[in-house]
């Protein structure tokens, strides 16, 4: 991985791994993008994924139309090591009373469901909504892990889910929950 901190935060629990680093470098079947409703790129992990995947990703995204918060859509990975990108739109945090927890849980559930439908066995998630959308880290990581564990408990089609924290704070939050 390009991030020098990538060697820290390796943690494992059953089919869930935590690997700190740059999600665009991961050789997995699919990486998840924390996108916005236009699906036409942005900053943060969205910008990094579009830069690494190349212009063809944007071209395919233009064919998809918009994506509502909590929904997920899939494209190819183009120049990424990952074969697919699953684009989902997290909630913007405004205090937690506007359905943010349910929307965030839907991001994970719908992304995992799309993975199963596309025979994806390994999938990596960034910390959806934990950057520009300002979701509190502790609450967000709890929803990420709970929703994923519930999903994996009922479906055995996915071999590995990797959470990819970018910061030490996120890394620590996942580690404590595992």
The reply to whether 90 sits near ligand AR6 by the rule CB under 6 A is yes
Nearer to ligand AR6, 99 or 155 (CB): 99
Sign of the torsion formed by the C-alpha atoms of 10, 11, 14 and 17: negative
Q: Is 46 a catalytic residue?
A: yes
Q: Answer yes or no: are the C-beta atoms of 44 and 34 closer than 8 Å.
A: yes
Smallest distance from ligand AR6 to CB 116, Å: 23
Q: Pattern 8-47, binding to ligand AR6, x per CB under 6 A? A: --------------xxx---------xxx-----xxxxx-
Q: Pattern 60-89, binding to ligand AR6, x per CB under 6 A? A: ------------------------------
Residue 55 burial class via C-beta count within 10 angstroms: exposed 0-12, middle 13-18, buried 19 and up: exposed
Q: Answer yes or no: are the C-beta atoms of 17 and 163 closer than 8 Å.
A: yes
Question: CA-CA distance, 24 to 21, in Å (whole number)?
Answer: 9
Give the binding site for ligand AR6 (CB under 6 A): 22-24, 34-36, 42-46, 48, 90, 126-133, 164, 166-167, 170
């Amino acid at each position: 991985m390009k991030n020098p901190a990538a060697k820290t935060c390796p943690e494992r629990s059953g089919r869930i791994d935590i690997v700190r680093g740059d999600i665009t470098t991961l050789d997995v079947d699919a990486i998840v993008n924390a996108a916005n409703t236009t699906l036409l790129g942005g900053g943060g992990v969205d910008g990094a994924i579009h830069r690494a995947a190349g212009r063809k990703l944007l071209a395919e995204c233009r064919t998809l139309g918009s994506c509502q918060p909590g929904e997920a859509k899939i494209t190819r990975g183009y120049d990424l090591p990952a074969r697919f990108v699953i684009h989902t739109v997290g909630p913007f945090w405004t205090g937690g009373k506007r359905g943010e927890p349910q929307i965030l849980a839907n991001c994970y559930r719908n992304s995992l469901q799309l993975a199963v439908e596309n025979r994806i066995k390994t999938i990596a998630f960034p910390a959806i909504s934990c950057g520009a959308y300002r979701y509190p880290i502790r609450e967000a990581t709890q929803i990420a892990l709970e929703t994923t564990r519930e999903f994996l408990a009922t479906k055995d089609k996915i071999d590995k889910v990797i959470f990819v924290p970018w910061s030490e704070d996120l890394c620590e939050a996942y580690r404590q929950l595992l």
